[in-house]
Amino acid sequence: MIHMSLLVPLSFIVVAGINSGIGAYVLFYQLRGKPNRAFFVFSIGASAWIGGFGLLLATHQHIFIPVLLLGCTVMLLGLFWLAQVFPAPAPDRDLSMLWYLPFILGAYASLYPGAMIRQVIFAGSGAIPTQGPWFPYYALGFAAYTLFTVALLFTTYRKSATPERTRFQYFFLGTGLFVLATMLCDVVLPALGIFSLNFIGPLSSVVSLAATAYAIIRHELMDIRIVIQRSLVYSLLLGLIVSLYAVIITSISFFFQASGDAKAIIAGGITMIAGIFGAPLVERHFRKITDPIFFKDTYVYSAALEDLSTILNTNLNFRQLITQSMRELDRILRPSYIYFFHTDSDSWFSMSGRIRRSIGRRLERSDSRDTRVPVSSSEKMLGEFVLGPKRSGDPFTSEDQALLRTFAGQATVALQKAELYQELKEHTNKLEQKVEERTQHLRQMQDQQREFFDDMSHALQTPLTVLKSAVELLASGKAEHGTKVYKSMERGVDDLSRLIRNMLELSRIGTSSAEAAFETFDFSACVSRIVEYVGTVAHEQDIALTSSIEPGLLVHGDPKQIDEAVTNLLGNAVRYTKGCPRRLIQVSLSAGADTITLVIQDSGIGIAPEQLPLLFERFYRTEGGRERTKGFGLGLAIAKRIIASHEGSIDLKSGLGEGTTVTVRFPRP
């Protein structure tokens, strides 16, 4: 009879969940990898077997017996499949589907009531299974397929090259420990009627599964020494924890009178606390003991140099080059730690990436135990690899030193190539950006050109229509000399002349030839002269024009262009103020710390807010503007172009019936 506490079935269920998570993680890490899929089937079978076992012990319900038996069958199926695809699928190991027929029979026997296990008798926390008639045959088949699986792996091992044979030896050792423990404790001994050790296999599965999954993802099942060492260390830890639990529960039974559940809870709590605080210390001690065993010098110099050269010659990315080089050096030489210092970026890197500056400062202090490998060219120091003492405790041999020197020479060329590639990549990105900017600029110029011709066509339509009508009247003989026809023709020609002159002026503003006429002049005198000139027209329209001009303010630019811009703005104020009930225009010129500000405020008809953004577009005129004045809508566009070419700005504020305020700012020279 097996005396089980509540801790054992709960631990089985937890282990089953962990195994499922490990299997799913390995599967989704590379869905198309056949070793990954085979390992997933293996882990799911182990989870069903262990979870069913735990639920059976926890609930005493016979419905979980088929679950654990089916899980055992699926686990063997996954192991059998893994043997065919490890380390890579091969055509000569593609077995017939008949080899999988026994697994179907085993699954059927597992689900058939009473075929494998007739019943389980529970007494307190104990369980005694009664074998069914098919169980001995199931055990024999399990053993046969396990041996055949080992034979498949051994056949692949014999065909492998020397470096791969060492990996296979470790793989046999790591996987064999778990398989043999499972077959012995959960198949062979139960077939003989011995059930006292059948909990060892389930609990040990999580260690092998976790270590194998780590090897698949991080080392592609090639570095099994880590798997074996961690399996051994964790198995020893598990043995110590179980032993501690047994000692504690025995001591409680000897000194205190308590129920079985109470003893299990107390012993479990003490064991958990001791495990949390003591396991890391024990693990480090065990690793220190096993490092000299597992990490002796076993590499082949030529093969190691070839692997390092492949990494250096096939990587152009700096980060990947450094990371993969350090990982390969770690695999070959087994230092306790390895870092790289990059001179240009003044940064330290580990196998997982850039490390904190505080750690880097500690590494900068030289340690006599470190082995430093400088990487330098004839021009400058590129960086330095820092290797800690070997995990085995052995010193670096002359062969190790020769390997590091050869690696450093090749790494110099590889790092320079990576840096040149990075510079070329950055330069290419900049060129692409400039090309994109120039292309965008050309698109804008094409859009502006198309918009210009559209605007010109629209503006020329009216005067040409007038001229055409007048010509038709003259041709028909209906018009007489001196009539309105000649006047309309004269006005049309004037409009065309003014339009062409304005368009030429608009295209000329801001060009390099215009900038040659820039000079520093008295802007205050210029504004005063314009106010005096426009004031005559304003007086005729009964408009009050007042000014407040700060004298002596200078502006750097083309006096003629700025004169034209201010005249246009003040002329607009007069045109849109005449005829209004309140007729007032105020002009002010003042200086700030960096700018000179001109403000023209009128009490005219105003502009609707939604029309303000469109005012500076060519040929745009408001509805009220078309009725009040004649023009082509180029005045504000010309004024804005002039002001912008002088690095100035112009803003408008207005509302219908509220007048308009124009603010112009120029930088002080």
Q: What is the pLDDT of residues 206-234, one digit of tens each?
A: 666 665 665 555 544 444 455 555 656 66
Please give the helix or strand (H or E) that residue 287 lies within, else none: helix 260-294
Least confident of 23-27, 349-353, 473-477, 562-566: 473-477
If you average pLDDT over residues 16-38, what whole number do you get? 80
Task: Tell me which of 631 and 401 has the higher pLDDT.
Answer: 401
Residue 397 pLDDT exceeds 60: yes
Cβ contacts of 86 within 8 Å, gap of 6 or more = 35, 38, 153, 156, 171, 221
CA gap 641, 617 in Å, rounded:
10
pLDDT band at 522 (very low <50, low <70, confident <90, very high): very high
CA distance 292 to 288: 8
| 49-63, 301-315, 465-479, 582-596, range with the lowest pLDDT | 465-479
| Residue pair 318/301 in contact by the 8 Å Cβ criterion | no
Confidence (pLDDT) at 221? 44
pLDDT computed for residue 165 by the predictor = 55
Residue 323 confidence (pLDDT) above 50:
yes
Averaged pLDDT for residues 288-302: 65
Select from 30, 143, 149, 24 the least CA-distant residue to 85. 149
- Looking at every residue in the chain, the average pLDDT score rounds to 76
φ and ψ at residue 132, rounded to 5 degrees: -95, 175
CA distance 601 to 605: 12
- Which of 184-188, 278-282, 335-339: highest mean pLDDT? 335-339
The pLDDT of residue 92 is above 50: yes
Q: Can you tell me the mean pLDDT for 138-145?
A: 86
pLDDT of residue 513: 44
- pLDDT computed for residue 667 by the predictor: 92
- pLDDT given for residue 295 in this prediction: 56
**The pLDDT of residue 439:** 87
421 pLDDT higher than 70: yes
Q: How confident is the model at residue 512 (pLDDT cuts 50, 70, 90)?
A: very low
With a cut of 90, say whether residue 10 has pLDDT above it. Answer: no
Average pLDDT over residues 298-313: 82
Residue bearing the bigger pLDDT, 363 or 137: 137
Element (H, E) at 122: strand 117-123
Residue 416 has pLDDT above 70, yes or no: yes
Asked which of 139-153, 397-411, 453-467 is least confident by mean pLDDT, the reply is 453-467
Instruction: In whole angstroms, give the CA distance from residue 62 to residue 56.
Output: 7
E runs forming strands in 344-408: 347-350, 353-354, 371-376, 381-387
- How do residues 49-83 score in pLDDT, each as one tens digit? 888 888 887 888 888 888 888 888 998 898 888 88
Contacts of 447 (CB under 8 A, 6+ apart): none
Among 169-173, 206-210, 299-303, name the most confident range.
Answer: 299-303
Report in angstroms the alpha-carbon separations of 60 from 52, 69, 123, 132, 366: 11, 16, 10, 18, 64
Contact 547, 587 (CB under 8 A): yes
Cα–Cα distance between 467 and 474 in angstroms, integer?
11
pLDDT tens column, 454-503: 666 655 666 677 677 777 767 776 666 556 666 666 766 766 666 666 66
